[in-house]
Amino acid sequence: MKTDIKDILQGVREGRVSVDEALLKIKKAPFEDLGFAKVDLHRAARQGAAEVIYGAGKTPGQIVGVARTLREHGERNVLITRLSSESAEAVAAELPIRYFPEARIGLLGDLPMPDGIGYIVVATGGTSDIPVAEEAAVTAEALGSRVVRLYDVGVAGLHRTLSHLDEIMGASVIIAIAGMEGALASVLGGLADCPVIAVPTSVGYGASFGGLSALLSMLNSCASGVSVVNIDNGFGAGYLANMINHMDIREDRP
């Protein structure tokens, strides 16, 4: 992968390839066909982060195959989401992964030093929401963001939320994770001047309909600047928050 990109850049230097042609070639970079998976080798060049392996539904052998392919093509860190403890044990016998059981995430490689424009706050309404929150937090950390965790700060005791105003108001982006009626996102959206990513969880009694109630509440938030991801989608929230946290001004943009 790195050799291909180097050849393209060398062509630009020598005048054989125009800048626009080089950009197109990089965006159309190849994949490797393993039969059971087509591994996207240049996603990092296009999107800033390598392909993430979704572990649920894959055998340990398939996970190992994809992870090895990414590693062999220059990816230092490989993220595996929705990885069960049983699969993690089997994968760990083949690859030196670090497993985060609460987040159900495996990481091949080391957590990078955080950078970005600031930090991400990951807040939960209750303790029962922590597994989804950890999926979001570990995802963001694995991609290079600093994360501040604020757990069990739901609206049933609003004083708990207000005791963290400094962290909330200093964040570059907030992930608000809640089940039940999902009110936390609106509260945080009304306090902060940064984007708020709302994550409804399937936590709640019968009328919560497995998170649908929280999802609809968050979609109907009256606070500006609140966006919503799918039910229990901590990974999606952590990935998006990391992208926002790295949207610094670049000189190469008009």
pLDDT digits (tens, 9 = 90+) for 180-209: 888 899 999 999 999 999 999 999 888 889
Q: Does residue 118 contact residue 172 with C-beta atoms inside 8 Å?
A: yes
Could you tell me the residue ranges of all domains in the chain? 28-108, 115-245
Whose tokens are 């609106």? That residue is 186
Average pLDDT, the chain: 86
Q: Which residues contact 37 (CB under 8 A, 6 or more apart)?
A: 62, 65, 66
Query: Which pLDDT score is estimated for 3?
Result: 47
**Residue 100 predicted with pLDDT over 80:** yes
Confidence (pLDDT) at 236: 95
Distance CA 174, CA 195 (A): 6
User: Among 232, 228, 210, 230, which residue's Cα sits nearest to residue 219?
Assistant: 228
- Asked whether 163 and 151 are in contact (CB, 8 A), the reply is no
pLDDT at 161: 85
Give pLDDT, residue 32. 61
- pLDDT tens sequence across 8-21: 777 888 888 787 77
CATH no., domain 115-245: 3.40.50.1970
